[in-house]
Amino acid sequence: MVRGVYIHIPFCHQICNYCDFNKVYFRNQPVDEYIEAVGKEIAMALNRSPEQFSNIETIYLGGGTPTALSPSQLERLLELIGGHLTTDVMEFTAEANPDELTIEKLKVLKNGGVNRLSLGVQSFDEQLLRRLGRTHTIDQVYRSIDDAFKAGFENISIDLMYGLPGQSDGQWEDTLEKALALNLPHYSAYSLIVEPKTVFYIQYMRGKLHLPEEETEAKMYEMLMDKMEMNGLHQYEISNFAKDGYQSIHNKIYWDNDEYAGFGAGAHGYIKGIRYSNHGPIKKYLQAVNMGQLPILHQHEVTLMEKCEEEMFLGLRKNEGVSFERFEQKMGFSMKEKYGGIISELVNEGLLTEDEGRIRLTKKGRFLGNEVFRQFLLCE
């Protein structure tokens, strides 16, 4: 049963230097046709399996940048979504850029059922913003958040980044203090990963991208955890912090390894044990939908082995960890039967703790999360 719906809007007015998501420049793109195609894709999926969408809990508009759309385009998109899916869900999130989030767009989002905003702030340092290829200013961050509150939004999250080229721990501390002064209910903070097919990757391969040392990045992460906790924001996942009652329900669906649908060019989904991805290029996506076909490029039936691995490395991202009981209910055998030796070894190394019927990362384990996750991919 699908718990969440992700809808991808691939259009951007500016391509950031670190971004490897499926995206295109807004100019000269068939944006209106794309919006109609998303509505058609949703309708086709519901016609094929209406029972799968009878109890969705979340909708998430991601990108790209949904707020790259004009107010009228946003309104049409939300009209199509509401015409096919119930928007009376627990959480309806829209990603937004501070320099694009106008009062008019905020009203459209609110009237369309959106009840949560995720703003791509990344840094409160103007120089670093330019380095990242971001187009907003710090003043626009403050203005957009103030406007969002005035429009009636309470559930607001901002994304931050650390481990950036030329970033010092002092700059990171300043960003954290300014972000926390906003007293928002949710923050996400990610270390930079240099992905292929990005501007940063090209610079890195040419020796022109100078990143902080691992020790400095670790110090930044520790600073992040400490300052969030001091300000009443509890870490519930490796990169996410929230006040009580404001955890991201949609993202938790991914970490719970539960099923979700993905609509739009390049979107991914996981339904009935099958992971799938849509055509990424806009033209190919439109061709498929306009021919009355679901625009799926790849499908993969997840094996039991893969399901076990995913349950572990996704679940361990959460501070609550992985439940022995839930694992056995989903897999048909016990976690100890499959991973007992690995769990004992990682507990002895101080990377995992076992208590209250579950395993979870220790604070030390959070710093070495990828090393821990890798252990559960090596067990046959």
Residue-wise pLDDT for 158-174, tens only, equals: 999 999 999 999 999 99
CATH class of 4-255: alpha beta
| pLDDT, mean of residues 86-96 | 95
DSSP string, 144-155: HHHHHHHTT--E
Beta bridge partners of 235: 241
pLDDT band at 378 (very low <50, low <70, confident <90, very high): low
The neighbour count for residue 365, using CB atoms within 10 Å, is 23
> 26 pLDDT band (50/70/90 cuts)?
confident
- The residues of the chain that CATH labels 3.80.30.20 are 4-255
Mean pLDDT of the chain: 94
pLDDT at residue 295 in the model = 98
Domain boundaries 304-375, corresponding CATH code: 1.10.10.920
pLDDT digits (tens, 9 = 90+) for 189-229: 999 988 898 888 888 899 888 899 999 999 999 999 999 99
Q: Is 168 helix (H, G, I), strand (E, B) or coil?
A: coil
Neighbouring CB atoms inside 10 A of 323's CB total: 18
Q: Does position 379 have pLDDT exceeding 60, yes or no?
A: no
What is the C-alpha to C-alpha distance for residues 226 and 28, in angstroms, rounded to an integer?
Answer: 46
Contacting residues for 270 by C-beta, under 8 A, at least 6 apart:
259, 260, 276, 302
Sorting pLDDT into bands at 50, 70 and 90, what band is 15? confident
The per-residue pLDDT for range 259-286, each reduced to its tens digit, is 999 999 999 999 999 999 999 999 999 9
Spatial distance between the Cα atoms of 217 and 195, rounded to a whole number of angstroms = 17
Residue ranges of the alpha helices (H) in 114-198? 126-132, 138-150, 169-180
Residues 148, 108 contacting (CB under 8 angstroms): no
Q: Higher confidence at residue 267 or residue 50?
A: 267
Q: Give the residue range(s) of CATH 1.10.10.920 domains in the chain.
A: 304-375
Residue 54 has pLDDT above 60, yes or no: yes
Both tokens of 365, joined, read 């384990």
Is residue 125 pLDDT above 90, yes or no? Answer: yes
Handedness of CA 328, 59, 65, 141 (dihedral sign): negative
pTM: predicted TM-score of the whole model, two decimal places: 0.95
